[in-house]
Structure 1
Amino acid sequence: MAPVRYVVYGAGAVGGVIGAHLHLVGLPTTLVARGAHLDRVRADGLVLDTDDGRRAVAVPAAAGAADVAWTDDTVVLLTVKSHQTDAALDDLVAHAPPGAVVVVAQNGVANEAAVLRRFARTYAVCVMLPALHLEPGVVVQKCWPTPGILDVGRFPSGSDDVADRVAADLRTAGFESVARPDIMAWKHRKLLVNAVGDVSTLLPTGPEADQLAAAVLAEGEAALAAAGIPVVTAEQDDVRRGDVLRPRVDIADFRGNSLAQSITRGLPTEIDYRVGEIVLLGRLHGVATPASERVLRELK
């Protein structure tokens, strides 16, 4: 069986780490990047910073879908920020095969439906992959030796041979990955994890931050329940994570989450698709979300 060809659309922290590892195990991979980051990757390779040191990975890179050599067995891993999804989809619709598989490896829970409007073969990944991208040409893998957990399933539900194949390739590349028919229940738990984590971007560690985080979590749980949306328990999430994500101790310069990275780089953020999703669900289903609204308002 011929190997799947991967197009990682968005070569930032998450996409860069995934794409580098796929390429390193010999799976045909092309990164889609832009600007100075693309220039550096094309000139010198993508620098992958791990606990084992830095190495330049000579993975092919493209400026957009028009520069990709598409085949019928190409799988797109969509890894741009959520607010960049529409532009990425416009590009993919213009140049990718209509029957392309698009696997959503993004934060939030709104991207999958947007992709499904454009591509019938839509899949979702619950991304647990701490990484950094603060300088052009470099991505930092924050966990070692396993880079992350990337479970996958079909959207809106179910599993099939494609999900199994993608999960197997991700395992080959060093990630923890299984195919899950209820992948969106896992992504909704990850949504709550992200929303709570965003409090740390707003407030320093302390009692006020703890109280606000607890309130955001309670609001998120209530909004999901009111909407009738299945979500795995925190205990199930803890078991899945286990001790897989072992943080490096040598990264002292920056410990913020992906939202904090965007703010640090002066870029637009995807806050509307993180804690903002809780605010939206609350408004749709009559659940008050004052704590979540505060985080959204002060981090916009």
Structure 2
Amino acid sequence: MRRFVVYGAGAIGGVLGARLHAAGHEVVLIARGAHLAAIRADGLRVESPDGTQTLPIPAVSGPDEVDWRPGDVVLLAMKSTDTDAAVRALAAVADPATPVVCVQNGVANEPTVLRHFAHVYGVHVMFPATHLTPGVVQAQSAPVTGILDLGRYPHGVDETAERIAAAFRSATFACEPRPDIMRGKYVKLLGNLGNAVDALCGRSGDGDGENPQEIVERLRAEGSAVLEAAGIEFMSFAEDRARRGDLIQVRPVNGRSRTGSSSWQSLARSTGAIEADHLNGEIVLLGRLHGVPTPANELVRRLANQAARAGDPPGSLRVADFWKLLAAAEPAEPGTSEDAVLPTS
């Protein structure tokens, strides 16, 4: 199989690259900062319910350091907020015919890549993983690490998709080539609308009977209404659950349960950025284009960005305060300012 260049070696990219490497595929990781330094110094440490491996995977700081070869496949695994800059850097050195696979949440990455590369593939990512410490990634599911169904963007399956799917299957992932891959990616978008709530409010609520799941349900109701108004076909949650079946088995790693979503991890690591603009913000954008109000998603988007900029830890927002802010914002949603101010009481 061709060499995989994993661009973005955090939770998803790091675990995927490690699993491919362990399965005998040639892999190069593109990472940055302390994470890159740790991988170069000691290898990539992969922790899972079944044990720990440290793998000596080659790692570089950018696509300009890769010795590009015919047949290389790029696996994009950075947050959507970083995709545009990453793809521009990639396009400066890689052949436009290089296959680029978007192993990412959201639906904006594929069209961004298609501006620069002719062969683009989307992946419906069902893959619990964590990255909080430089040089360390965690795979939370075993023995199947995740589900990575893929297809060509905007639609179709070709020989390259089949070969990549086979490689993923060899590396402990379930993977089916699907010609309608965006149906799966849009239901995953609806599922990911709760990521920012997980980051802002935590999963257990305030301890006073407030349930963050009620916020998530409101976000998904807005999202479903927007997709229907836009005429965008998406997989049902029932179909999505049936595909997952019992393949994903989340188990403790080093005696600890999984902490939180990728957005929770962004706040926990104080990265200064969060993916809400490309998750909740995608629903806001489509709502504005098609005349569907999305006040809850807009509020979550703004609060998540505010928390990321301020360096707030996960769980800093009370559920009750969210509903107060939403009640105040709903009448004037089109003209709200970028920063929402939390109540002091």
Q: Distance in 1 between matches of 2:34 and 2:217?
A: 40
2:155 and 2:180 in contact (8 A); partners too: yes
In the TM superposition, 1:248-267 aligns within 5 A as 248-250=251-253, 252=256, 255-267=259-271
| Corresponding residue for residue 150 of structure 1 | 148
| Corresponding residue for residue 13 of structure 1 | 11
Alignment match of 1:243 (pick from 238, 246, 251): 246
Any unmatched runs of 5+ in structure 2?
306-345
| Deviations 1:171-190, CA, capped at 9 Å, x for gaps | 00110001000001100000
Q: Distance in 2 between matches of 1:293 and 1:121?
A: 33
Task: Give aligned pairs, total.
Answer: 298
Q: Distance in 1 between matches of 2:84 and 2:278?
A: 13
Alignment match of 1:58 (pick from 53, 56, 75): 56
**Which range is displaced more, 146-155 or 90-99?**
90-99
Residue 285 of structure 2 corresponds to residue 280 of structure 1: yes
Q: Secondary structure at the match of 2:17?
A: helix
| Corresponding residue for residue 296 of structure 1 | 301
Q: Secondary structure at the match of 2:97?
A: coil
Q: Distance in 1 between matches of 2:149 and 2:258?
A: 27
| Corresponding residue for residue 216 of structure 2 | 213
Q: Secondary structure at the match of 2:173?
A: coil
Alignment match of 1:126 (pick from 121, 124, 127): 124
In the TM superposition, 1:198-237 aligns within 5 A as 198-204=196-202, 205-206=204-205, 207-237=210-240
2:43 and 2:56 in contact (8 A); partners too: yes
Alignment match of 1:77 (pick from 68, 75, 78): 75
Alignment match of 2:137 (pick from 112, 136, 139): 139
Q: Secondary structure at the match of 2:224?
A: helix
Displacement after TM superposition at 1:87 (Å): 1.5
2:251 and 2:257 in contact (8 A); partners too: no
Residue 183 of structure 2 corresponds to residue 185 of structure 1: yes
Displacement after TM superposition at 1:170 (Å): 0.1
Q: Distance in 2 between matches of 1:9 and 1:167?
A: 18
Moved over 4 A (4+): none
* Letter of the 1:265 counterpart: R
Q: Secondary structure at the match of 2:52?
A: strand
Displacement after TM superposition at 1:4 (Å): 1.1
Displacement after TM superposition at 1:208 (Å): 4.0
Amino-acid identity (%): 49
Displacement after TM superposition at 1:270 (Å): 1.2
Displacement after TM superposition at 1:254 (Å): 5.2
Q: Distance in 2 between matches of 1:232 and 1:254?
A: 26
| Deviations 1:71-105, CA, capped at 9 Å, x for gaps | 11100000111111112112111111221110111
Displacement after TM superposition at 1:19 (Å): 0.1
Q: Secondary structure at the match of 2:194?
A: helix
| Corresponding residue for residue 161 of structure 1 | 159
Q: Secondary structure at the match of 1:26?
A: coil
Q: Distance in 2 between matches of 1:46 and 1:117?
A: 32
Kindly tell me: are residues 85 and 197 of structure 1, through their superposed partners in 2, closer, same or farther at Cα, counting changes over 3 Å? closer
Root mean square deviation of aligned Cα: 1.3
Q: Distance in 1 between matches of 2:44 and 2:25?
A: 16
Displacement after TM superposition at 1:253 (Å): 6.5
Asked which structure has the greater CA Rg, the reply is: 2
| TM-score (normalizing by structure 1) | 0.96
